[in-house]
Amino acid sequence: MTMIQAITHTLAQAMERDPDVLVFGEDVGPNGGVFRATDGLHAQFGEDRVFDTPLNENLIVGAAIGMAAYGMRPVPEIQFMDYIWPAYDQLVNEAAKMRYRSGGEYTCPMTVRTPYGGGIRGGHYHSQSGETPFAHTPGLVVVAPSTAHDAKGLLHASIENDDPVVFMEPKALYRAAKGDVSEGYYKEELGKAAVRQEGTDVTIVSYGSTMPMSLKAAAAAGEQDVGVEVIDLRTIYPWDKETVLKSVKKTGRLVVVNEAPLTAGFASEISATVAEEAIEYMEAPIKRVTGYDTPFPYTLEGLYMPNPNKVMQAIEEVINF
């Protein structure tokens, strides 16, 4: 399956398994969504469980919180992550704090699906990567799959999680990421990274849209006898720092790759943690390969985004330090 097929398949499977799972958002009903992620679900499950909403992200997330508080498991879609910000207050001040403020009496089992990132020439209003503010919010889980297999397993785990999840889907990989996906039910553990490639010389940590370019750079480095270990976080928060620290203690070098701007991005959190907890193992400064501190440009998208050459340059810099 492609990633988009895996997501559609998973939503249908989750709705078949649990009548309390609902899907709603802008154009997700009969139209099947702007990326066709919900294609066919309206016909299969009907208007009561798959329905369109007004163009009002605050309303979409607020309604989902109310449903979740009453025991349902809503899966609202925010059409582009760039437009999630009208719902930011609902997510960080209501959904994320539901369990805490009620002393555990209520939970908020909702999964907000939203496509993020560039690579489709969407311009500055349809290409941003907004994971960091949500990863900064205790009570939210933030997920970003990079493969079709993980998209299914992580989405099932998110829908069944009793706390709210922001499920970030790399739109550039919707049809580019294709692989074997079991049609049977399975889950992938939230908060657990995957080691995509083992190596002894450099560690790359990435997630979502920048994983394929990280693997390409690792393959190129391998041709130069540089062993690169590639870690896919999969869950941005809570992130699997144990797997990352174990790797950098082995390799002594770290390159972190993500698409969001450099300053205060999640690559900085990973870098700071490694500097605090494994500095005595490091043989070179940590390198971050990210977007720039500018709005996402339409005409210069290729220049703005990380790519295998930029990652390879960072690998060479830490090896040659």
Grade residue 109 by pLDDT with cuts at 50, 70 and 90: very high
Asked whether residue 258 is assigned to any structural domain, the reply reads yes
% of the chain residues with pLDDT over 70: 100
Asked whether residue 189 is assigned to any structural domain, the reply reads no
Asked whether residue 15 is assigned to any structural domain, the reply reads yes
Q: Which residues contact 230 (CB under 8 A, 6 or more apart)?
A: 195, 196, 197, 199, 203, 204, 206, 211, 214, 215, 218
Question: What's the confidence (pLDDT) of residue 17?
Answer: 98
Question: What's the confidence (pLDDT) of residue 155?
Answer: 98
Cα 30 off chain centre by:
26
Which residue, among 57, 73, 69, 72, has the nearest Cα to 95 in the 3D structure?
69
% of the chain residues with pLDDT over 90: 98
Which residue, among 9, 16, 41, has the nearest Cα to 27 in the 3D structure?
41
Single pTM value for the model: 0.97
Query: Which residues have a catalytic role annotated?
Result: 126
| Whether residue 217 is found in the same domain as residue 165 | no
Mean pLDDT of the chain: 97
| Whether residue 161 is found in the same domain as residue 224 | no
Of 173, 206, 228, which one is at a domain's C-terminal end? Answer: 173
Kindly provide the residue ranges of all beta strands, DSSP E only, lying in 158-249, ordered along the sequence.
165-170, 194-197, 202-206, 228-232, 235-237
Grade residue 36 by pLDDT with cuts at 50, 70 and 90: very high
Question: What's the confidence (pLDDT) of residue 224?
Answer: 96
Which structural domain range is residue 109 located in? 3-173
| Whether residue 41 is found in the same domain as residue 122 | yes
| Whether residue 145 is found in the same domain as residue 212 | no
Asked whether residue 130 is assigned to any structural domain, the reply reads yes
Grade residue 188 by pLDDT with cuts at 50, 70 and 90: very high
Question: What's the confidence (pLDDT) of residue 84?
Answer: 98
Question: What's the confidence (pLDDT) of residue 117?
Answer: 96
Kindly provide the residue ranges of all beta strands, DSSP E only, lying in the chain, ordered along the sequence.
21-25, 50-52, 73-77, 111-116, 141-143, 165-170, 194-197, 202-206, 228-232, 235-237, 254-261, 287-291
The residue-averaged pLDDT of 109-114 equals: 98
The residue-averaged pLDDT of 58-80 equals: 97
CB-facing half-sphere around the CA of 46: CA atoms within 13 A? 3
Residue 44 belongs to a domain with what CATH number?
Answer: 3.40.50.970
| Whether residue 22 is found in the same domain as residue 163 | yes
**Residues 284-301: tens digit of each pLDDT:** 999 999 999 999 999 999
- Give CA–CA dist 233/49, Å, rounded: 32
| Number of domains, the chain | 2
Question: What's the confidence (pLDDT) of residue 82?
Answer: 97
- Give CA–CA dist 128/118, Å, rounded: 7
Residue 294 belongs to a domain with what CATH number?
Answer: 3.40.50.920
Question: What's the confidence (pLDDT) of residue 116?
Answer: 98
Kindly provide the residue ranges of all beta strands, DSSP E only, lying in 117-233, ordered along the sequence.
141-143, 165-170, 194-197, 202-206, 228-232
Asked whether residue 181 is assigned to any structural domain, the reply reads no
Question: What's the confidence (pLDDT) of residue 22?
Answer: 97
Grade residue 233 by pLDDT with cuts at 50, 70 and 90: very high
Question: What's the confidence (pLDDT) of residue 153?
Answer: 98
Question: What's the confidence (pLDDT) of residue 128?
Answer: 95
Asked whether residue 285 is assigned to any structural domain, the reply reads yes
Which residue, among 220, 239, 237, has the nearest Cα to 228 in the 3D structure?
220
Q: Is 268 exposed, middle or buried, given 0-12, 13-18 or 19+ CB atoms closer than 10 A?
A: middle
Q: How many helices (H) and strands (E) does the chain have?
A: 12, 12
- Give CA–CA dist 54/220, Å, rounded: 47
- Give CA–CA dist 232/266, Å, rounded: 14
